[in-house]
């Protein structure tokens, strides 16, 4: 079975500072990896996804993530955050060959709190 | 264009009552998914449809939960004899095809509170 761990439930950061949100996954098979963002009172929105190829993935709003197979990680980064980045961020996987095809398996989320 | 919409946005009901939650997917999307998000948790898969048929309902917690998509577009999640533990945000998503690589687009959710 697959699982996703987001160890940081909340990450406070000052505006214009860099940020990294950590995500580790567990799977015995290859996975596709996703980061979604949930703004208050809105639906989940895809930030970026890794399917194959280059391990550095660039997404919307200046975010990027790097897939590290040896460390089973997919950390999300942004070099300079804005107040408007305050939201809940979810890491998720799909295991196309692991009996969990088409099902997103989510972590528990990390609240990014950007302070002025 | 219009995204995934869900109605109602909030539903308060009493223990033991029956509820229906509706999802309107993005026009042209053939795959539709339901997830449930409990407080402080990430969304958990319930069921997905390819067209009118439920391709995988392995995430439904028990037989009180049922979902339909009779015409391959709108879907309704039905919960019988609601329990306090059913309180959660129910999320619907759709994708163009039923494919692991296709992006799932989420609606804003229905917050269900069972008193």
Q: What pLDDT shows up at residue A12?
A: 97
User: Which value, to the nearest 10 degrees, does the dihedral of the CA atoms of residues A9, A10, A16, A20 take?
Assistant: -20
Q: What is the DSSP string of A71-105?
A: TTEEEEEESS--GGG-EEEEEEEEETTTTEEEEEE
Residues B77 and B7 sit within 8 Å (Cβ to Cβ) = no
What is the Cα–Cα distance from B47 to B88, expressed in whole angstroms? 16
Q: What pLDDT shows up at residue A98?
A: 62
- pLDDT above 80 for B114: yes
- pLDDT above 70 for A39: yes
What is the 3-state secondary structure of B60-108?
CCCCCEEEECCCCCCEEEEECCCCHHHCEEEEEEEECCCCCCCCCEECC
What is the Cα–Cα distance from A90 to A106, expressed in whole angstroms? 7
What is the Cα–Cα distance from A80 to A85, expressed in whole angstroms? 10
Best probe of the B interface among A60, A104, A109, by most B CBs < 10 A, is A104
* Greatest pairwise CA separation for chain A in angstroms: 45
A78: tokens are: 């942004």
- pLDDT above 90 for A40: no
- How does pLDDT run across B75-89, given as a tens digit for each residue? 999 999 999 999 999
Burial per residue of B51-83, b for 16 or more beta-carbon CB atoms within 10 angstroms, e otherwise: eeebebeebbeeeebebebeeebebebebeebe
Q: What pLDDT shows up at residue B98?
A: 82
Backbone φ and ψ for B3, nearest 5 degrees, come out as: -90, -165
Nearest to A32 among B31, B100, B105 (CB): B100
Higher pLDDT, residue B100 or A82: A82
In chain A, what residues touch B45 (CB-CB under 8 Å)? 103-105
What is the Cα–Cα distance from B1 to B27, expressed in whole angstroms? 9
Q: Which of B45, B17, B31, B38 is nearest to B111 (CA)?
A: B38
Nearest-CA distance B100 → chain A (Å) = 5
Structural domains in chain A?
A: 3-115 (2.60.40.10)
- How does pLDDT run across B13-70, given as a tens digit for each residue? 999 999 999 999 999 999 999 999 999 899 999 999 998 988 899 999 999 999 999 9
Check A104 against B35: CB less than 8 A apart: yes
User: Under CATH, which number does the domain B15-98+106-114 receive?
Assistant: 2.60.40.10
In chain B, what residues touch A46 (CB-CB under 8 Å)? 103-105
């Amino acid at each position: 079975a697959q699982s996703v761990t987001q160890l940081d439930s909340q990450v406070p950061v000052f505006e214009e500072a860099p940020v990294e949100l950590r995500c580790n996954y567990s799977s015995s098979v290859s996975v596709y990896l996703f980061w979604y963002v949930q703004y208050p009172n809105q639906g989940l929105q895809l930030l970026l996804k890794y399917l194959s190829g280059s391990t550095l993935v660039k997404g919307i709003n200046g975010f990027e993530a790097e897939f590290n197979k040896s460390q089973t990680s997919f950390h999300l980064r942004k070099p300079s955050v804005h107040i408007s980045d305050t939201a809940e961020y979810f890491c998720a996987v799909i295991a196309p060959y692991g009996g969990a095809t088409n099902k997103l398996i989510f972590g528990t989320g990390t609240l990014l709190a950007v302070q002025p | 264009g219009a995204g995934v919409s869900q109605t109602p946005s909030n539903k308060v009901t009493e223990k033991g009552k029956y509820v229906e939650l509706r999802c309107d997917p993005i026009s042209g999307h053939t795959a539709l998914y339901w997830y449930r998000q409990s407080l402080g948790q990430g969304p958990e898969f319930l069921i997905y449809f390819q067209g009118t048929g439920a391709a995988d309902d392995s995430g439904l917690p028990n037989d009180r939960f049922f979902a339909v998509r009779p015409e391959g577009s709108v879907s309704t999640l039905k919960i019988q004899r609601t329990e306090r533990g059913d309180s959660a945000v129910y999320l619907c998503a759709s994708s163009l095809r039923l494919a692991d690589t296709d992006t799932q687009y989420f609606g804003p959710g229905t917050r269900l509170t069972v008193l």
